[in-house]
Each structure stands twice: as structure tokens, then as C-alpha cells.
Amino acid sequence: MSQTMLDGSSHSHADGKCPAADIFGPNRHAFCPPQDGDLRSPCPAVNTMANHGYIPRDGKHLNADIIIPALMECYNISKPFALVLTYGSLHLLQQGTKEFSLHDLARHGYIEHNASLCHADAGPGEEYAPVHPDLKMMQEFFADSAGGLVMNTEDVARARVRRESSYPGGSGLDLNHAVIACGEISAVLNIFNHPDPQLVARGVPLQPPSTFSWLFGLLGLARSPDPEITPTDGVSINVLRRWLQEERLPEGWKPYHETTLRSILLTTNKMRSIMRKLRAEASVDEVNPSSTTIASGVSAGIAATKDETSSSTGTVS
């Protein structure tokens, strides 16, 4: 189906460029949806980079030299993290060549995996997974938000446990892809975790202080957090919906901070720790039906993890 550009007419992204945007001017990263012949992947991060012209808009003829600087410019990812992400992905793809397209990322069982939060699994015997988000699954994902306004690490852990427990045996993922799945969404929580005074006014808490800030607080040296400059504890659902569904950056997008490999590892470890507690609580309820409910076990698991985890999402450098 033909898409339309900003002036309402369909067009081609020949050579990866878009005639709807001024390639060398201030609008060179204007949004334009994929056109006929463009290739996309199940990954909204790289699809969004193509839709905004950080990488060739047709999603073709990509390599590490294109992807690494694009990740750094678009999402303010640190160079070490961009290197690990790019070359690690190329290794997992097993293409046998340095060049790839976005659709190659949809090859099932390489980087792409079952139990995605917003994408359906590849069908039996199919080599490629769907590249478009499943809107019903997306709404189920947002329904895992405890407060209904943001998705934080606890909410995402709840979503991952729900999704993985729907498979026989309670997982559907091998260890490598389980870690990849948590790492993917951990990156999202870090990249889009920005200050939002309007959310704070609606009751969304600010992110917990880092270990160093907590120590400064004990010494009486820390300032009170300012909602104008302190990220919220979670990412706005409205921002996530736009990014996941339209594969489009927020208006006036500018990354608030650099996202590092260390911050992703900390968030991933925290998420997996919460997931282990949720599964343990759910198992207790299955063995002892007289206990409260699985839902109360989930809440208890989250509360216990909050007490033992103080690292914040998105500000670790």
C-alpha cells in the first residue's frame, strides 16, 4: 500500500533519500513513513532511524559504518555501546557479509525472537517474523503499567513475565534471547527517560537517586530534585505509543542524556532480578492455592526488589 509524503503524494526513496525532506537543511531528519519498496525490521529503533533519515530511508545497503554514527546521533548512545550493539548484531545475524538490510533483522531465531512485547511470533516454518507491531499486544503491554501513565522497570518486568509465561514451560526463549529481550527494552527505558514536569504533577514520581546522590544526601550535600531537570521514574506511555506504533520520534526530540553500556547492564540486571521474584511468587501461589493471588505475589516481588535495588534508570554513566 502506498504511503504519502508530507505534501500528500507518494514518492520513492531511491538511493535512501527522501524528496520530501531537505536533505542538507534543518529538516533532513523530518519524519517520512516507509514508501513502496522500502524495507523494515521488527525493531522500532532502527525503523525510526530510517523514517527520520539517520540511516538510508529505504532500509537497504546498511553496514556498521552507517549504523554506529546513526545510533550515536539519533539516540545519544555512547560509542562503546554503539559498537557492541552493532557488531554483536552482525555476529548474531550470521550473514557472511558486512552489508545487510533492515529486513534481514526479521530473520527468525537470530536477533529476532519469540515473546516480543509488541510483535507477533514468526509463523511455523516461516523464515521471517512480522515487521509491523501488533496493536492488541501493544495495548496489553501498556496495561501492565501500574499507574497507567508511564512504563518503568517494574512494569516492563511484569510484562515480560506475562508474555513469557504464555508459552509451554513458561519461557519460549533460550537464555541468549531472554537476555536480548530484556536488553532491548532496557535501552528504551534509558533512552526515553526524560524530565516531564506535567507527569510529575499528575503523580508520577521522579527517578530514585543514584548511589552517589544518596550518599551526598546522607552528608547533607544533595539538592532537592527538580522536576524540570530530573527524569521521571519511567517513560511516558504516550511517547512509547508514538515510537512503537508510528516508529516516530517525539516532537522536538533531543536526547536528554547519553545512554551507556553500563546503564543498560544495570537496568537489565535489575529487570531480570524483578522477573525472578515475580516467577517465584507465582510458583508459591500455584503450590499453595490458599495464598492470596498471583497478582499480590507480583506486587510483593516488586516491593522487595525496590528495597534491594537503588540504581536509577537512565542517569548512570
The pLDDT tens digits for 144-155 are 999 999 999 999
Among 80, 112, 144, give the residue marking a domain's end. 112
Considering the entire predicted model, what is its pTM?
Answer: 0.82
119 found inside a domain: no
**Cα Rg of the chain, angstroms:** 20
By the 10 Å C-beta count (0-12 exposed, 13-18 middle, 19+ buried), 228 is classed as exposed
Judged by DSSP in three states, 100 sits in strand
pLDDT above 70 for 126: yes
What is the share, in percent, of the chain residues with pLDDT greater than 90?
64
Contact assessment for residue 228 and residue 273, using Cβ atoms and an 8 Å cutoff: no
Say if residue 187 is in the same domain as residue 233: yes
Say if residue 102 is in the same domain as residue 138: no
∠ CA 70-7-253 to the nearest 5 degrees? 35
Say if residue 147 is in the same domain as residue 104: no
CA distance 7 to 227: 38
- What's residue 222's pLDDT? 52
Between 23 and 12, the more confident residue is 12
pLDDT above 90 for 3: no
* C-alpha separations of 202 from 7, 93, 197 in Å: 37, 43, 9
Say if residue 20 is in the same domain as residue 167: no
pLDDT above 90 for 314: no
Say if residue 311 is in the same domain as residue 266: yes
pLDDT above 60 for 217: no
∠ CA 305-206-227 to the nearest 5 degrees? 170
* Domain assignment of residue 61, given as a range: 1-112
pLDDT above 80 for 26: no
pLDDT class for 230, splitting at 50, 70, 90? Answer: confident
- What's residue 311's pLDDT? 45
**Digit-coded pLDDT (tens) for 30-65:** 999 999 999 999 999 999 999 999 999 999 999 999
